[in-house]
C-alpha cells in the first residue's frame, strides 16, 4: 500500500506513494476536506484541476444525513458524490472532542445528541467501522478519544489507553474487501504517552498511522515537539498522517519531520472568508488597499481566480457575490496542491531543507 520512493538526504522528509483501490496518491499530499461528501463551493472538475488526488469525508455527519444506508444503496460514497479517486473517512473521533457538550463517553463508546434534531446516537468503535464500510471509502480511520490541550496526565493517559483498546476493536470487526484502516496515536504533549501509544498500535499492524489530538489548543512549537518525539516510534514502512493540520508553514514543518499526509478545512474556510494564501503570506482581499490593484493573487498560479485582478475579487466580496468565495476557495486549494508538488520535487532533489528555509523566510504569519 505504501512505497517509499526517496528519503531527503538532509532531513526526515519522505517522497512516497499510497496505493488504494481507487488510484495512487503521491506523497506528501494534502487532502481537501469534504465533510458531507462535497468540498464546499467547488464542483468536482474544478477540484480535480486544483491537483487534488484524495479527499476526506466525515463518518459522523454522513451517518446523520443522508445516512450510510442511503449512500450504500446509491452505490457507495464514490459513486454517490461522483469522485472516482481515493477517499478517506474519519471515524467520528473529532466529534467526541468538538461536540463534548452533547456527548457522553465510556469504554463502550460515545453517545451523542444529534446537533441537527437532538436524537440519541450511539457510536462505539464497531459502529464507526460499519458506517465507514457502508460508505465504501478507501481508508477508514479507527475511532479514537480526543481531548483538549493542555490537560492533566491522568486525562491524557485515560484517553490514550482507550484509543488503543478501541483501535483493536476496530481492527477485529473489519470486513471490507478493499478498505484499509489507519490507527490514530494519542497522548497529548506527553512524550512517554505518545511513545507507548505508537508502540502498542504498531504491534496491531495497521495499514497506516495517524497522529491525532494536535491542533486542539497547543502552540505550534508544542505541536512540532510532539511530532519530534512521536514520529521515531511510528513504522517507517507505513504512511504517516497528521490530522487536521493546517497552515502552510505547519504542513512544511510536518513534512520536514517525516509526515506524509495532511488535511485541514483552512484553505476552504478561509477562502470563503476572503483570505487567500500566497507565498508571501495571506491576503485579506476585502481590505481597501486592493480596490484598484490590477495584480493577480499570485503570479504564475494557474487557477481561475488568478486570471482576475485583486480589485475584481475584492469587488465580488464587497458586493456579496457568491463567485468570490468560490474563486478564493479554488485558489487556496490550488495553492496547497502546488505547495505539495514543490515539496515532492524538493525532496527528490535532496533540497527540502533549502525549500523549507526559503519558504519560512518569505512568508508573513496569518
Instruction: Say whether pLDDT at 102 is over 90.
Output: no
Determine the Cα–Cα distance for residues 86 and 23; give it in Å rounded to an integer. Answer: 6
Average pLDDT, stretch 24-34? 98
pTM, two decimals, is 0.96
Residues 283-307: pLDDT tens digits?
Answer: 999 999 999 999 999 999 999 999 9
At residue 199, the pLDDT reads 98
Average pLDDT, stretch 4-28? 98
Determine the Cα–Cα distance for residues 214 and 227; give it in Å rounded to an integer. Answer: 10
At residue 204, the pLDDT reads 98
pLDDT band at residue 365 using 50, 70 and 90 as cut-offs? low
Higher pLDDT, 9 or 119: 9
75: left (phi over 0), alpha (psi -120 to 50) or beta: left
The dihedral sign for the CA sequence 337, 339, 342, 344: negative
Q: Which of 73, 205, 263, 279 is catalytic?
A: 263
Residue 40, classified by CB atoms within 10 Å of its CB into exposed (0-12), middle (13-18) or buried (19+), is: middle
Average pLDDT, stretch 342-360? 97
Higher pLDDT, 122 or 229: 229
The angle subtended at Cα 361 by Cα 359 and Cα 364, nearest 5°, is 90
Q: Which of 90, 144, 190, 260 is catalytic?
A: 90
Average pLDDT, stretch 234-243? 98
Question: Which residues, in sequence order, are bridge partners of residue 31?
Answer: 263
Instruction: Say whether pLDDT at 138 is over 60.
Output: yes
Question: 260 an active-site residue?
Answer: no
pLDDT band at residue 116 using 50, 70 and 90 as cut-offs? confident
At residue 366, the pLDDT reads 56
Instruction: Say whether pLDDT at 327 is over 70.
Output: yes
Pairing mode, strands 23-27 and 109-113: unpaired
Determine the Cα–Cα distance for residues 180 and 139; give it in Å rounded to an integer. Answer: 5
Question: 90 an active-site residue?
Answer: yes
Instruction: Say whether pLDDT at 247 is over 90.
Output: yes
At residue 110, the pLDDT reads 85
Domains annotated for the chain, with CATH where assigned, are 2-264 (3.20.20.105), 265-366 (no CATH)
Grid look-up 504491534 returns: 203
Residues 34-92: pLDDT tens digits?
Answer: 999 999 999 999 999 999 999 999 999 999 999 999 999 999 999 999 999 999 999 98
Question: Helix (H, G, I), strand (E, B), or coil: what is residue 275?
Answer: strand
Average pLDDT, stretch 7-30? 98
The whole-chain average pLDDT of the chain stands at 95
Instruction: Say whether pLDDT at 363 is over 90.
Output: no
Amino acid at each position: 500500500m505504501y512505497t517509499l520512493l526517496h528519503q531527503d538526504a538532509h532531513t526526515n522528509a519522505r517522497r512516497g506513494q499510497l496505493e488504494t483501490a481507487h488510484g495512487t496518491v503521491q506523497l506528501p499530499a494534502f487532502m481537501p476536506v469534504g465533510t458531507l461528501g462535497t468540498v464546499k463551493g467547488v464542483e468536482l472538475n474544478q477540484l480535480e484541476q486544483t491537483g487534488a488526488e484524495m479527499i476526506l469525508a466525515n463518518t459522523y455527519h454522513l451517518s446523520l444525513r443522508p445516512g450510510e444506508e442511503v449512500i450504500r444503496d446509491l452505490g457507495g460514497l464514490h459513486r454517490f458524490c461522483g469522485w472516482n479517486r481515493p477517499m478517506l473517512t474519519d471515524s467520528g473521533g473529532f466529534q467526541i472532542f468538538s461536540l463534548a457538550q452533547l456527548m457522553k463517553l465510556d469504554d463502550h463508546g460515545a453517545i451523542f445528541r444529534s446537533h441537527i434534531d437532538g436524537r440519541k446516537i450511539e457510536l462505539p468503535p464497531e459502529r464507526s467501522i460499519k458506517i465507514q464500510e457502508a460508505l465504501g471509502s478507501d481508508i477508514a480511520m479507527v475511532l479514537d478519544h480526543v481531548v483538549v490541550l493542555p490537560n492533566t496526565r491522568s486525562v491524557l493517559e485515560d484517553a490514550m489507553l482507550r484509543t488503543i483498546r478501541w483501535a483493536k476493536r476496530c481492527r477485529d470487526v473489519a470486513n471490507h474487501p478493499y478498505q484499509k484502516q489507519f490507527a490514530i496515536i494519542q497522548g497529548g504533549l506527553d512524550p512517554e504517552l505518545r511513545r507507548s501509544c505508537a508502540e502498542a498500535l504498531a504491534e496491531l499492524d495497521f495499514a497506516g498511522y495517524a497522529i491525532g489530538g494536535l491542533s486542539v489548543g497547543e502552540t505550534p512549537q508544542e505541536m512540532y515537539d510532539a511530532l519530534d518525539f512521536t514520529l521515531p516510534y511510528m513504522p517507517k514502512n507505513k504512511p504517516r498522517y497528521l490530522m487536521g493540520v493546517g497552515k502552510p508553514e505547519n504542513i512544511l514543518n510536518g513534512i520536514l519531520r517525516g509526515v506524509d499526509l495532511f488535511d485541514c478545512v483552512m484553505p476552504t474556510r478561509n477562502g470563503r472568508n476572503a483570505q487567500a494564501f500566497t507565498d508571501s503570506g495571506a491576503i485579506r482581499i476585502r481590505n481597501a488597499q486592493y480596490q484598484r490593484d490590477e495584480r493577480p493573487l499570485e503570479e504564475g498560479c494557474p487557477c481561475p481566480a488568478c486570471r482576475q485582478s485583486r480589485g475584481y475579487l475584492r469587488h465580488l466580496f464587497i458586493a456579496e457575490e457568491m463567485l468570490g468565495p468560490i474563486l478564493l476557495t479554488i485558489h487556496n486549494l490550488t495553492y496547497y496542491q502546488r505547495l505539495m508538488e514543490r515539496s515532492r520535487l524538493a525532496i527528490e532533489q535532496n533540497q527540502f531543507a533549502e525549500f523549507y528555509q526559503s519558504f519560512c523566510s518569505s512568508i508573513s504569519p496569518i
